[in-house]
Amino acid sequence: MLDLKNCKVRWDRDNYVPKKVYGFETAPRKGKPQEIAEAFLRENLQVLKITAPMEDLRFEQVTESLGGKAVLFQQHYDDTPIHGAWVAIHLNNENRIFMVMNDTVPAVSLEKRVGKRAKAALAEGEIDLVIAAKIKEYGTLATEIVKERMIYTMKGSFRPVWKVKFGTQQPAGSWILFIDQANGHVIDERNVLRKALGKGRVFIPNPVVALNRDDLLDQKDGDQTVFVPAYRTVQLKDLEPGGNLKGPYVDTTKTRNCASSETFEFVYSRADERFEEVMAYYHIDSVQRYIQSLGFKDAKGILNRQIRVNVHGTREDNSYYDPSPGRHDITFGDGGVDDAEDAEVIIHEYGHAIQDAIIPGYGQKTEGRAMGEGFGDYLAGTSYYRYKTAARKVKLAAKAARRQEVGHRDPGEPLLSQPVRRFQGRRRGDHHGRKEPLRRQADQGVDQDLQDEGDPGVACG
């Protein structure tokens, strides 16, 4: 039998029971780990101040490590498991017990607080309606639904609950819910899907703004020395298992030869076609997280779901959001400079998706399309306005005023011929094949033209 005077003990101050007992070692014992642990528990129930009867401490499993084994017992009450109420008996490889972890609940407290609640329970069908609503909120059901009755401990109280487990896709999640049996309230919800924090390299938002230069040339996606200072190393949040750029708000796997990394490192130069995937993932994910930080999350969220992106979906000098049934995805073009190399192009198209999420089918008339283009420019411009120098902002304001005077484009402002491609060949929504300097695209939010007709075939502009 244990003598706590000769052990190290960490006490539970609320119930004054030994929560962790260590610094001792018993003589070697014969038998299987479960048998040894059960015999030890029977001998030491009083010493450990465990008031639950032994039959309520039910064997759960044996876990093994290099140094030994841990035998787990879960506490039950009235044949119902108590969430978080465990006893763990630790043995070394010589079958010597050297530590006990005790997270049991005093039996007297259970008898007083659980009995009354257990009588007033909703019908199981009503609980199923709560579960269905939560699945719809989280995504699309991808697994079976597993339910079990439990007793949930919360701030000294004990509540009979349903513990519910299921998986979702779009976005991926592995959910555990605890639903109060009496009123159907979800008192705890957890997404236990293991997600990774990745590493990537991007432009913020593009080299013209980052370097404050208007003379950059594409040179067939060449990774010129001049671009090096424009690169930024960033974190790619909540990547799903599998090694692709796929997370809660973005999925780039629709792209041909999509990026894949077992170490979740996606550090490429612009000469690598995978670079645009990193751009799309990082910038869309960042903007969506910012939107949620404003309060638009959970049931009030705006496009707080996974959107599919193809960063090399067309050779045309055009990009678009497709609101067609079953699609609702974004495609970026590679004509001229690859569109997805510019964060302002990326977020402009994401702006169309946001509008379609708020009002499905928005922008089917001329004014609606114009507003869609304006909103896309506004979202992109305000997202990256702080990265522009004061001198650039003054120049943009002067150019915007000049354009307003002449109606559209300053006749003195030259258009580039097709063979000469400056970095980012055009503004969004300008799909008539003309080539313009990058400064027009890189200066979204100030240099706007609400008379653009919008991307062809895009319902929201």
Taking only the tens place, the pLDDT of each residue in 375-387 is 999 999 999 989 9
Range(s) of the chain covered by CATH 3.10.170.10: 196-442
Q: Please classify residue 111 by burial: count the beta carbons closer than 10 Å to its beta carbon, then call 0-12 exposed, 13-18 middle and 19+ buried.
A: exposed
Angle at CA of residue 93, ends 88 and 95, nearest 5°? 65
pLDDT at 421: 44
Assigned architecture for domain 196-442: Roll (3.10)
Range(s) of the chain covered by CATH 3.30.310.160: 4-113
Range(s) of the chain covered by CATH 3.10.450.40: 115-191
Q: For residue 388, report the phi and psi dihedrals to the nearest 5 degrees.
A: -95, 140
pLDDT at 150: 94
User: Which of 45, 343, 312 shows the shortest CA–CA distance to 202?
Assistant: 343
3-state secondary structure of 395: helix
Edge-to-edge strands, sheet with 196-203: 231-239, 196-203, 265-266
Please give the structure tokens belonging to residue 16: 């004054």
List the beta bridge partners of residue 20: 10, 101
Q: How far apart are CA 336 and CA 321, in angstroms?
A: 19
Q: What own/partner pairs with CB < 8 Å and gap ≥ 24 does 170-176 have? A: 170/139, 170/140, 170/305, 170/306, 171/138, 171/139, 171/247, 171/248, 171/249, 171/305, 171/306, 172/139, 172/142, 172/240, 172/246, 172/248, 172/306, 173/138, 173/139, 175/134, 175/138
Top CATH class of 115-191 equals alpha beta
- Contact yes or no for 193/174 (Cβ under 8 A): yes
The pTM of this model reads: 0.59
- Which residues of the chain carry a pLDDT beneath 50? 409-422, 424-461
User: Which of 358, 391, 345 shows the shortest CA–CA distance to 206?
Assistant: 345
User: Which of 247, 250, 210 shows the shortest CA–CA distance to 231?
Assistant: 210
pLDDT at 411: 41
Q: How far apart are CA 57 and CA 43, in angstroms?
A: 14
User: Which of 130, 126, 131, 139 shows the shortest CA–CA distance to 298?
Assistant: 139
Beta-carbon contacts of 339 under 8 Å, excluding residues fewer than 6 positions away, are 317, 318, 319, 332, 333, 345, 346, 424
Q: How far apart are CA 251 and CA 248, in angstroms?
A: 8
Beta-carbon contacts of 244 under 8 Å, excluding residues fewer than 6 positions away, are 252, 253, 258, 259, 260
CATH topology of domain 4-113: TATA-Binding Protein (3.30.310)
pLDDT at 113: 67
